[in-house]
Chain A
Amino acid sequence: MTRWVATPALARACVVAAAGLVGAVALGSPVLVVLAAPFVVPAVLGLAHRPRTTPRLVPDLGTHRLHEGQGIVSGLVVDPPDGVEHVTRVLERPSYVVLSPASGTVGGLVRDGVPEAGIGVTRWGRRTVGAEQVALTGAWAGFRWGPREVPGVSVAVLPQAAAFDSRAEVPQPDGLVGAHRSRRVGSGSEFSGIRGFAPGDRLRRIHWPVSLRTGTLQVVTTRAEQDSGVLVVVDAFRDLGASGGVGGAASSLDLTVRAASALAEHHVRVGDRVGLRVLGPGDARVPLGSGTRHLHRLTGTLARVVPETRRVEDAVPDLGVQGDCVVYVLSPMLHAPVVTATAALAGRGVPVLVIDTLGERDLDELGGPRSRAGLAWRMRRVERDNLLDRLAGLGCPVVPWRGPGTVDEVLHRLARRAQQPRVRAR
C-alpha cells in the first residue's frame, strides 16, 4: 500500500463520535454526548492532520562489506518526513543473520529520529540483509502509509580471519624481493658465511676482525631475501556438517574458507604472492598477486564460494599450478578426483600441503555409531584415511587445520627437502 489511508483507529473514533451524537439527538439522551464527546477530538484532529506528501524510503546500512561476526546499524531515511509522526519497521531475518532487538521490530516517533535496528551476520558468504516492512503513521494516528516492503541489500560477508601465524619459511622462494630466506646467496641481511675476498666484492662487506686474524681479506656473505608464490586451492565440491555460524559448529566448508582466508592474509602480510583456485561452482581463479588490494580480492572471492549441490563428475580437476609455488590444498578429501589431482601435483615435485578441513563430525547426528548412516560414515572415513596415507606416502603431507602453527612443522620439512637435489616427474 503506497498511499496515505485512514487508520482503523480514526474510523473507530469517527464512528463512535457520530453514533453517540446521533443517538443522543435521536433518543434525547444527553449521556450519550458525554460518552461520545471525547472521541470527537481525535476524530477531528486525525482528519485535520492528513499528510499530503509521498514519502520515499531509502535504507542506509553504511557498508557493503563486513566480516562474519560483525554487526551494522540498519538506518532508514524517510524523505520528506513532513507529516510523518511515527515509523514502524519490521525486519526480515534470513539465515545466519541476527537482529537487535531479537524480534526485528522497532518503532518510534520521528521527532526522536527514525528508529534503528542492529543487524549481525554469523556466517561468511553473500547475504541479503535489511529487507523490511515499513509503515508510517501521521499525527493523531489519523492516516497510515504502508506497510511497504523495502528490499534488502546484498552484502559480502568476508570469512572471519581465523587466528593464524606461521614463522616457517616457504620452501620455494622464487621472486625478486621478500621476507623469505633464499636458497641463493645474495644481497640480503641474514648471515650466510665468510669467504675470501674476490674481485667485485663490495668493500663494506669486508669482515675486518677475521681479515686481521687470518691475514687475508675476508668478506661476509648474506642470503638473498625473496618472496614466494603461494597457491591456495579450496575444495567446494562438498559441504559436510551443519554450520552454526561464527562461534557455533563449523561445517567442512566453513573450516575450508576460514582457513583459506587466514592463510591468504598471513602470506600477503609477509609479502608473498598469493593466488586462489576454487574447485566447485563458479570455478573461480585469482592469479598470484600481492598487496592489500589483492588480499581484498582474495577474501571477496572466498565470500562468494558456494558448495556444489549437483552431482560432481569424476574428471580430475586442473589445479592451475604454474611455475614454482607452494600449493595449499584445503579439502575434506572426500572427493577422489581432488585426491588424484593433489597426488599428481606432488608427483611433479611441486611442494603440496594438504590441510584436512573435515573437522570432527559427531556420529550422534547420524543416529549413533551403530546406525546405518553411522556405519556408512565410518566406512567412508576408513577409505579416506587409506587415501590420505597413500598421499602421505607420495611425500604430500596432510595436516588437520588447527589454527596458529598448523603448517609450521610441515613447511620446515618441505623447506629442508627443497634444499636437496631431486628428480621431477613430468
Chain B
Amino acid sequence: MSALRRWSRSAVLARLLVVLLPLVAVAAAGQRPATPFVVVLAALAVAWAIAPESPVGWIVLVLVIGWWGVRVADPLQPTVLLAAAALLGAHVAALLASYGPGRLTIDGPLALLWVRRALLALLVAPVAWAAALGLEGAPDQPALWTVALVTVAGLVLAAALALRQAAGDES
C-alpha cells in the first residue's frame, strides 16, 4: 500500500483509464452484459492497471472484442466506434503507465504525442466500419473470406518473424 501511495497523479489517472475504458467499451453496446462477465472483466482490468505490462492486458482486450463479436445483437451499430476508441484508449493508457514505475510523473509532451498517435490509429476504425457495413448486405463471397484469411495469416506471420528476428539479432 505504501508503494501505491507514492504513485504520481498522472500514473493514477492512467491506471483509472485502464480500469474504466474496457467497461466503457462494453457499455457502448447498449445492452446489459451478464453480471459474472462484468465482474471478471472488472477484476482483470484492475489487475491490468496494477501491472500495466502483464499479459492480463491483452486478455481484457480480447475478452471485450470477443464479447462484441459473439454476444452483441447489433454489433455494427455506430457505438462500436466508441468501443474501438475506448479499447485503444485503455491500451495507450497502460502503455503510458508502463514507461516507468508508478511514482514517475507521465511527461506532458509524451502524453500529447500518444494522444495524437491514438487519433491517427483510430482513423482506421471508421474505414473498417464503413467497409463492414457495405459488405453486410452483399451476397456471401467465399473467395473474399479466403483472400482475407490469407492476408491476415501473412500479416501475423510477418509480425511474428519480425519480433523473432528482433530478439535473435541482439542475443
Contact = CB atoms under 8 A, between A and B. Distances in A.
Nearest to A14: B159
A34 B132 contact: yes
A90 interface: yes
A5 B121 contact: no
A100 to B, nearest CB: 13
Given A34-B84, A141-B95, A103 B104 contact: yes
B69 A27 contact: yes
B109 interface: yes
Interface in A132-169: 135, 137, 140-141, 143
Contacts of B95: 7, 9, 141
A39 B88 contact: yes
Interface in B130-161: 131-132, 135-136, 145, 148-149, 152-153, 155-156, 159
Nearest to B122: A38
Contacts of A50: 162, 166
Contacts of A35: 64-65, 68-69, 80, 83-84, 87, 125
A16 B61 contact: yes
B162 A47 contact: yes
Interface stretch (A105-113, A199-207, A233-241, A373-381): A105-113
Contacts of A30: 76, 128, 131-132, 135-136
A39 B131 CA distance: 17
Given A22-B152, A34-B80, A105-B103, A15 B166 contact: no
A39 B118 CA distance: 9
A109 B72 CA distance: 41
Contacts of B69: 23-24, 27, 29, 31-32, 35
A180 B7 CA distance: 61
A8 B97 CA distance: 12
Q: How large is the interface on A (under 10, 10 to 19, 20 to 34, 35 or more residues)?
A: 35 or more
A19 B162 contact: no
A47 B149 contact: no
Contacts of B72: 31
B8 A39 contact: no
Contacts of B80: 31, 34-35
B58 A5 contact: no
B7 to A, nearest CB: 9
Contacts of A8: 52-55, 57, 98
A12 interface: yes
Contacts of A33: 128, 131-132
Given A8-B57, A34-B129, A34-B132, A19 B170 contact: no
A210 interface: no
Contacts of B155: 18, 21, 40
A137 B149 contact: no
B4 interface: no
A167 B171 CA distance: 70
Contacts of A13: 91
B170 A5 contact: yes
Nearest to A143: B166
A43 interface: yes
Given A3-B171, A6-B167, A47-B163, A37 B128 contact: yes
A248 B105 CA distance: 29
Interface string A332-343: 000000000000
Nearest to B149: A25
A12 B109 contact: no
Interface in A85-102: 86, 88, 90, 101
A42 interface: yes
A120 interface: no
B30 interface: no
Contacts of B106: 107
Kindly list the 6 A-B residue pairs having the minimum CB-CB distance in the complex, ordered from nearest: A3-B170, A30-B132, A31-B75, A41-B121, A103-B103, A8-B53
Given A16-B65, A21-B152, A38-B125, 5 more contacts: A11-B163, A12-B91, A40-B155, A103-B103, A107-B107
22 contacts: A3-B171, A4-B170, A7-B98, A8-B52, A11-B58, A12-B91, A16-B91, A18-B152, A22-B153, A24-B148, A29-B69, A30-B135, A31-B68, A31-B132, A35-B83, A38-B85, A38-B121, A42-B121, A44-B159, A103-B6, A103-B8, A140-B117
Interface of A: 3-16, 18-44, 47, 50, 52, 86, 88, 90, 101, 103-109, 112, 115, 135, 137, 140-141, 143
